[in-house]
């Protein structure tokens, strides 16, 4: 750990840096996955989904930056190289060869959901070892990921399988 005037104990800071670097690796992977989808999406909704994925990737990159800066601010080293991301990311690898917009939406939504779930778990971890500021950062990231997930999932047209009972009860207009 690097010297700092931060008043958290070195033990707490070290634990936070570990959790932050775990999520930095996954955030770098998530950013690359969304860019992969952005570059390769095809279909009738191409432009809307292509632009959406670009905006999602920008948000994820912002989260990466905040995670890395928090690690540095705690006296740690942000481990943000591609090599580290490949080794440490907990996300399922993105499948190559996808072109269909629905498959990309599904894959990106799954990765966003997995990252969001882990961010929520990190809130509890950071709180448990006494770093409420890192917990707050993960709360902000969790909210942001949930919003991006909503934007992506909004491109999934309702079907009989994914309609909610409330939607099924609404009479269709003629």
pLDDT at 159: 75
pLDDT at 174: 33
The pLDDT tens digits along the chain (174 residues) read 999 999 999 999 999 999 999 999 999 999 999 999 999 999 999 999 999 999 999 999 999 999 999 999 999 999 999 999 999 999 999 999 988 999 999 999 999 999 999 999 999 999 999 999 999 999 999 999 999 999 999 998 777 665 554 444 433 433
How many CB atoms are closer than 10 A to CB 110? 16
Token pair for 90: 């907990």
Token pair for 30: 């998530």
DSSP type of residue 170? S
List the chain domain ranges: 10-156
pLDDT at 161: 67
Instruction: Kindly tell me the sign of the dihedral angle through the C-alpha atoms of 140, 54, 96, 80.
Output: negative
Q: Could you tell me which CATH number the domain at 10-156 has?
A: 1.20.1260.10
pLDDT at 98: 87
DSSP type of residue 142? H
pLDDT at 48: 96
Q: Which residues contact 145 (CB under 8 A, 6 or more apart)?
A: 63, 112, 115, 116, 119
pLDDT at 167: 40
Give the H/E segment covering residue 165: helix 165-169
């Amino acid at each position: 750990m690097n010297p700092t005037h931060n008043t958290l104990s070195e033990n707490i800071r070290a634990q936070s840096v570990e959790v932050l670097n775990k999520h930095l690796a996954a955030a770098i992977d998530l950013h690359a996955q969304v860019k992969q989808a952005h570059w390769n999406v095809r279909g009738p909704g191409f432009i809307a989904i292509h632009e959406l994925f670009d905006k999602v990737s920008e948000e994820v990159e912002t989260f990466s930056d905040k995670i890395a800066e928090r690690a540095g601010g705690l006296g740690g080293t942000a481990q943000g190289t591609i090599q580290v991301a490949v080794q440490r990311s907990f996300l399922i690898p993105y499948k190559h060869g996808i072109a269909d917009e629905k498959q990309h939406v599904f894959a990106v939504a799954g990765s966003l959901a997995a990252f969001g779930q882990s961010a929520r778990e990190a809130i509890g971890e950071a709180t448990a070892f006494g770093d409420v500021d890192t917990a707050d950062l993960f709360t902000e990231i969790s909210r942001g990921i949930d919003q991006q997930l909503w934007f992506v999932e909004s491109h999934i047209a309702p079907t009989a399988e994914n309609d909610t009972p409330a939607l099924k009860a609404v009479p269709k207009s003629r």
